[in-house]
Amino acid sequence: MNQPISITAISSISPLGYEPDIIWKNYNAKTHCFSRLDGNLVAELPLNAKQEIEKLRHSNSKYKQLDKSVLFAIFAARHAVKQAGWASQDDFGVNIGSSRGATGLFEKYFESFLTEHRAETLSSPTTTLGNISSWVAHDLQTKGPEISHSITCSTALHAMLNGIAWINANMCNKFLVGGSEAPLTSFTIAQMQALKIYARTNDELPCKALDFNKSENTMILSEAASIACLELGKKDNALAYIDGFGYGTELLEHNASLSADAECFQRSMTMALGDSNPEDIDIIVTHTPGTIKGDLAEYTAIKQIFCNKIPTLTTNKAQVGHSLGASGMLSIEMAILMLNHQKFIDIPYLEQSRPKKISKIMINAVGFGGNAVSIILSK
């Protein structure tokens, strides 16, 4: 770390809800958020959260044309900025990415094109990936830099890396970072099913993330946005401090999988640890999407780095599923909640020792193509 960086706020909207107390309550309930949509297992926003998004959509005539991924981001960003006490004149930067972007709206416009043989007027500007950060910046009236990107499922943590880089370069002292995803469309689900990684059975806990004894893939898609406020220095109102960050890539062995020992994760975790003692890490919030090979590859990488003293492992995907580009920041939120409540959220089917303390937590994320990010938080 070049300079201390504080996370002064974090907000999300997901199947767990959007109010911090409710989100924490749902984590502790240890029940999953999965339901059936057109026969497929998914994790949808709860009814009250859907109503809030519709209220936002109809609050501004321009917002009626926006994709849900953009509306999710605006909603979460408003709450995060309010929590941090930022004002528009602060000219903070915005970097909110997405794996898929305006998936639902793009599919709607393309279906219309196939029927009408012409594109609708707003089909291009409302489906570009840059749409998310630019609309959030517009809504919050900030004139800082606006960045959007897609690095598949590690998108949100790459946004955090970008925010850290801008702050360390003294180009900005505040950055709004995160990810937003609205992937619950028939085509997106079908794509995951075509890869043969999607859950098929509706067990008591249908997503078996971090279960290394599962005999089939169990990934389930989720919709969500999660946004954090980064500030230069150690702030009195900090929810957590960023103690380390790392990234890693690896040569492609397959379009949709990691190497068996997840070299990218080994690189990202090693870089994040730097000169610190691996034994200082109390918990790792893993990426583990619930696939056989993906979960095992990350665990193999963790064993390589931490040897015989592996930190306690957990993940939120067993409860909330995989929100693709937003998932890494949801994991950051989970880590911050555990740090501030000083309580570990375990997984019922994973037998392991509970952490003796909760001082430092590592958060992992990786996307198709082996783009891994590791972040270390402390309180």
Per the listing, tokens 């998914």 go with 42
Q: Decide if pLDDT at 249 tops 90.
A: yes
Structure tokens at 112: 């219309």
Residue 319 near residue 27, CB atoms below 8 Å? yes
Q: What is the pLDDT of residue 30?
A: 84
CATH topology agreement for domains 5-232 and 244-378: yes
Residue 220 near residue 207, CB atoms below 8 Å? yes
Strand ordering across the sheet containing 224-232: 146-147, 93-97, 174-181, 224-232, 5-13, 240-249, 371-378, 360-367, 283-285, 312-314
> pLDDT-based confidence at 255, cuts 50/70/90?
low
Query: CB-based burial of residue 51 (10 Å sphere; 0-12 exposed, 13-18 middle, 19+ buried)?
Result: exposed
Q: Return the percentage of the chain with pLDDT > 70, whole number.
A: 98
Q: Is the dihedral of CA 156, 157, 159, 163 positive or negative?
A: positive
Structure-model confidence comparison of residues 284 and 128, the more confident one: 284
**Average pLDDT rounded to a whole number, residues 102-131:** 93
What is the bridge-based pairing of β-strands 283-285 and 312-314? parallel
Residue 375 near residue 332, CB atoms below 8 Å? yes
For 227-371, where are the alpha helices, taking DSSP H only?
263-273, 292-306, 317-320, 327-341
**Average pLDDT rounded to a whole number, residues 189-198:** 96
For 227-311, where are the alpha helices, taking DSSP H only?
263-273, 292-306
Residue 228 near residue 178, CB atoms below 8 Å? yes
Structure tokens at 375: 């972040």
Of 130, 199, 159, the closest CA to residue 327 belongs to 159
Determine the topology of domain 5-232 in CATH.
Peroxisomal Thiolase; Chain A, domain 1 (3.40.47)
> pLDDT-based confidence at 254, cuts 50/70/90?
low
Q: Indicate the SS3 state at residue 152.
A: coil
Structure tokens at 200: 């098929």
> What does the pLDDT look like over 146-159, one tens digit per residue?
999 999 999 999 99
pTM exceeding the 0.75 threshold for the entire prediction: yes
> DSSP E strands: which ranges in the chain?
5-13, 34-37, 40-43, 93-97, 146-147, 174-181, 224-232, 240-249, 283-285, 312-314, 360-367, 371-378
Average pLDDT, the chain: 95
> What does the pLDDT look like over 351-374, one tens digit per residue?
999 999 999 999 999 998 789 999
- Report how far residue 157's alpha carbon sits from residue 217's, in angstroms, rounded to the nearest whole number: 24
Q: Decide if pLDDT at 62 tops 70.
A: yes
CATH superfamily label, 244-378? Thiolase/Chalcone synthase (3.40.47.10)
So where are the chain's domains?
5-232, 244-378
Q: What is the pLDDT of residue 336?
A: 98
Q: Decide if pLDDT at 3 tops 90.
A: no
Q: Is the dihedral of CA 228, 234, 240, 244 positive or negative?
A: positive
For 87-242, where are the alpha helices, taking DSSP H only?
103-116, 131-140, 155-168, 186-194
Q: List the end-to-end C-alpha distance of the chain, in Å, as a whole number.
A: 16
> pLDDT-based confidence at 111, cuts 50/70/90?
very high
Q: What is the pLDDT of residue 308?
A: 84
**Average pLDDT rounded to a whole number, residues 17-21:** 98
Of 305, 373, 315, 374, the closest CA to residue 344 belongs to 315
